A and B are shown apart, each in its own frame.
Chain A
Amino acid sequence: MDVRKAPAALSLPSLSAPVAMGYIPLGALFGFLFVQAGGPPWLAVASSILIYAGAAQFMMIPMLAAGLPLSTIGLATLVLNLRHVFYGLSLLNTLPAHRWSRWYVIFSLTDETYSVLTALPAELRVQRMTLLSALNQGWWVLGTLLGAVLGRQVEWGLSGLDFVLAALFAVLAVEQWRARRDAFPIWVAVIAWGIAQAVWPAQALAIAIGLSLVAVAVRPGPGPDNQARPPVSQTPTSQTPTSQTPTSQTPTSEPPNR
């Protein structure tokens, strides 16, 4: 779903439809897996309303099922969603003036919403971003609800369905690789997991996350990520936003157009 190919069609339904096609089935998959893992359906829906970050929500299913400590889950969320920091940087100057709208748009800035917003001309963006963001989240919540309800009805006896999660992580890894072809993180992850597995198998994931964090932070030399350059976003989905011209000079939470 490449929304940037149709910049002429700027009506809300035509902007949101491609997002709906992706969000409803993926949201349903999340709701389904959450309930199949033993979680109550209302909490699946609550996650999609409150967290609203696809990769993190899928990640939390095995972590919650394993009963990992909150600190590990928090750390994993932090590193996984770090890319969102770079989205906001390029939207600094075009935010709704109204306080609540502004905070909602900031909250709901996902990969896909970001791509759609950056495809809009600046003046249209300010007008439509609140409603567009809300529509997009609506699809995600609707999908989650459908999946959670279905997950309640169906008792999936087939072994191997849990593999869906591994497949999803493989998909997200491929999209990360597409955005930035750097093999270093892969080696770091595999080696860190091997070490963690040898040292303390019960907490392997938590230890491996910590090791990876340190390895990436102390990576020597001017690597591909090390030089000063304009923020480049990481999109795990099919779009790569193009309008990457950060225009703000001042660190402020107040929109200049107010």
Chain B
Amino acid sequence: MNDVVYLLAAIGLMALITWLLRALPFMAGHWLRHHPLVHKLGGSLPLAIMVLLLVDTAASQARHHPGLPWPECAAVVVVVLLQWRLRQTLLSIVAGTATYMLLLGL
């Protein structure tokens, strides 16, 4: 991550796309509200993307150590349970990461 031109281009692109999405309802609200595909994508894609990112980052973590990805799985379970019960984002993240580091250290 030291190619400033690449980073700036990515940040600019992401800013543009995010802004367009936020501006879209103010430009085409009627069309959007009645387009079933928009509802389909908006309803299901965010969860799919989160799971993809989770699996991808956890899998790339697992490549750094020999053996099966048990530490990743156990730590993800800790995060999911804590977040589901308590909804304290920081606590879930810190506890899950601490669990992971402990398991790796064993």
Contacts and interface: CB of A to CB of B under 8 A. Distances in A.
Contacts of B56: 62, 193, 204-205, 208
Interface residues of B, number: 75
A114 to B, nearest CB: 10
Contact of B28 (A82, A205, A251): A251
Contacts of A76: 49
Contact of B18 (A39, A56, A209, A229): A56
A77 B93 contact: no
A161 interface: yes
B22 A84 contact: yes
B88 to A, nearest CB: 9
Please tell me the size bucket of the interface on A. Answer: 35 or more
Given A85-B21, A185-B44, A223-B40, A166 B50 contact: no
A175 B104 contact: no
A122 interface: no
Given A38-B2, A185-B45, A163 B7 contact: no
Contacts of A188: 44, 48
A238 B66 CA distance: 37
Contacts of A25: 90
A213 B45 contact: yes
Interface string A125-137: 0000000000000
A65 B64 CA distance: 16
A249 B34 CA distance: 12
Contact of A171 (B9, B36, B89): B89
